[in-house]
């Protein structure tokens, strides 16, 4: 049975979102009136993938003059998002960070890491086959691995493979964040789960959605997979014309907000970390970001009414990761850059304005929606500078690591900025019990 505290009133999530982003808009800035979607191309050089909450956020925490984005070259200024990682900030909750202070063991681990080892922790990669990719782990030392359907055959094989990859990773460095996309419905990776419902199939039933998430979380925990790249927080505003479609919980932002919260709570109850995607909202696009960058041409007010509420609801439910889509939102960043490499959409909107302090993960970096914006090295550096913590599936992961290392050495990226992301990633690993500490996943 679902915990009723995880199913807040519909009005609460909308009130939070409207109060929050009303503070984001500046009366002196134009508010584009058009709605819809258009395809953009890259500037340079193209798969996968509780207790009652406050209903408003003090406006003084989210107001202030807009600042221009740092230049692409030169020394990276220290971002205000570079705080001790992992929690939802006091200005969102009205109380100290729910995830707690910076864990001591994380500090000690970071202090022993080389610059290259730090950069490696910010990369999660895919692999081929159904056995542990020992050579890949020993040579690349990634921060995480993602499982796809081709990697998994049966539960016993998955358990053995997960245990094996963690043993190899611990011998050579840090344990791994093991992850997969187990949304239910149209997107399932694990064997024998094709009948698990997802998205619109719940018909707005938050209790059903929570129970399903809890069972899925328990299964993934038994298989050694600690991170689910689900649920979908996109509100399907373009119907069958969009690429999200029935993967979305609803076309109603209030319904979507309730079910997002329910599933975040359910996955946590099942013992795993959870991810909402695809910020700032793939449900408002008809363009497939696997092929090209999509542009959300909504005004600020339209975006905050429709796309924002489920993400705000997830932050209040203490979601562990938020995935950025390769989606441009010119109402907030007129440059047309996708959120993956946009400081305005990532650092300013998601972190400073929404108050999110957990792990920010990119959508897969081998997708056409981002590869047109630069090489693996260039995209890795631009993404981290913008506020991304975890680079998912860069086409050339070793080159991505080299790019980050070189950027720190030549001053384009500060080591303080790098450390902030490493800290968030390692803090998540600690909450998952990967450092022999008691699990500290949020409960709601």
DSSP 357: -
Instruction: Give the residue from 260, 195, 208, 251 showing the smallest Cα distance to 232.
Output: 260
Dihedrals phi, psi of 63, to nearest 5 degrees = -105, 170
The secondary structure element, H or E, covering residue 17 is helix 10-22
Tokens describing residue 420: 């902030």
Distance CA(158)–CA(190), nearest Å, equals 9
> Can 363 be counted among the known catalytic residues?
yes
The secondary structure element, H or E, covering residue 179 is strand 177-180
Dihedrals phi, psi of 275, to nearest 5 degrees = -130, 135
The secondary structure element, H or E, covering residue 438 is none
Residue from 181, 254, 307, 363 carrying the catalytic annotation: 363
Distance CA(289)–CA(302), nearest Å, equals 21
Query: CA torsion sign, 382 to 26 to 81 to 143?
Result: negative
DSSP 347: I
Contact (Cβ atoms closer than 8 angstroms) between residue 211 and residue 265: no
Tokens describing residue 383: 């993404």
Instruction: Give the residue from 397, 382, 280 showing the smallest Cα distance to 341.
Output: 382
Tokens describing residue 167: 């043993």
Contact (Cβ atoms closer than 8 angstroms) between residue 58 and residue 100: no
Q: List all residues 6 or more positions away from 243 whose beta carbon is below 8 Å from its beta carbon.
A: 282, 285, 286, 287, 288, 289
DSSP 5: G
Residues serving a catalytic function are 363
């Amino acid at each position: 049975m679902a915990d009723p505290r995880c199913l807040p009133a519909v009005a609460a999530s909308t009130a939070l979102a409207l109060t929050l982003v009303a503070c984001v808009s500046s009366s002196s800035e134009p508010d584009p009136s058009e709605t819809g979607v258009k395809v953009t191309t890259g500037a340079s050089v193209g798969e996968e993938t509780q207790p009652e909450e406050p209903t408003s956020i003090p406006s003084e925490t989210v107001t202030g003059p807009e600042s221009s984005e740092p230049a692409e070259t030169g020394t990276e200024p220290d971002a205000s998002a570079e705080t001790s990682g992992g929690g939802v900030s006091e200005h969102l909750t009205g109380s100290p960070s729910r995830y707690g202070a910076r864990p001591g063991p994380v500090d000690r681990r970071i202090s022993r890491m080389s610059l290259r080892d730090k950069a490696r922790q910010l990369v999660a990669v895919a692999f081929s086959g159904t056995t542990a990719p020992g050579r890949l782990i020993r040579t690349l030392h990634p921060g995480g691995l993602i499982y796809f359907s081709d990697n998994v055959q049966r539960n016993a094989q998955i358990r053995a493979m997960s245990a094996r990859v963690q043993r190899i990773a611990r011998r050579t460095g840090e344990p791994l964040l093991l992850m997969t996309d187990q949304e239910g419905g149209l997107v399932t990776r694990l064997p024998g789960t094709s009948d698990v419902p997802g998205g619109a199939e719940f018909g707005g039933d938050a209790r059903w959605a929570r129970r399903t998430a809890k069972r899925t979380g328990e299964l993934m925990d038994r298989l050694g997979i600690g991170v689910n790249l689900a649920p979908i927080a996109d509100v399907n505003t373009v119907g069958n014309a969009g690429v999200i479609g029935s993967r979305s919980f609803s076309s109603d932002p209030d319904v979507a907000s309730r079910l997002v919260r329910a599933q975040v709570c359910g996955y946590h109850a099942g013992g795993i970390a959870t991810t909402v995607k695809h910020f700032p909202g793939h449900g408002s696009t008809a363009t497939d970001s696997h092929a090209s960058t999509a542009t959300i041409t909504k005004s600020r007010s339209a975006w905050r009414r429709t796309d924002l509420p489920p993400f705000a609801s997830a932050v209040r439910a203490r979601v562990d990761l938020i995935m950025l889509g390769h989606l441009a939102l010119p109402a907030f960043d007129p440059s047309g850059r996708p959120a993956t490499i946009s400081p305005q959409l990532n650092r300013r909107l998601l972190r400073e304005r929404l108050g999110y302090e957990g792990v920010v993960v990119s959508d897969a970096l081998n997708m056409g929606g981002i590869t047109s914006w630069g090489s693996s090295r260039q995209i890795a550096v631009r993404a981290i500078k913008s506020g991304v913590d975890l680079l998912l599936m860069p086409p050339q992961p070793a080159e991505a690591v080299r790019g980050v290392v070189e950027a720190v050495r030549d001053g384009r990226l500060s080591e303080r900025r790098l450390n902030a992301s490493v800290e968030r990633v390692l803090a998540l690993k600690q909450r998952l019990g990967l450092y022999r500490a008691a699990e500290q996943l949020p409960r709601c």
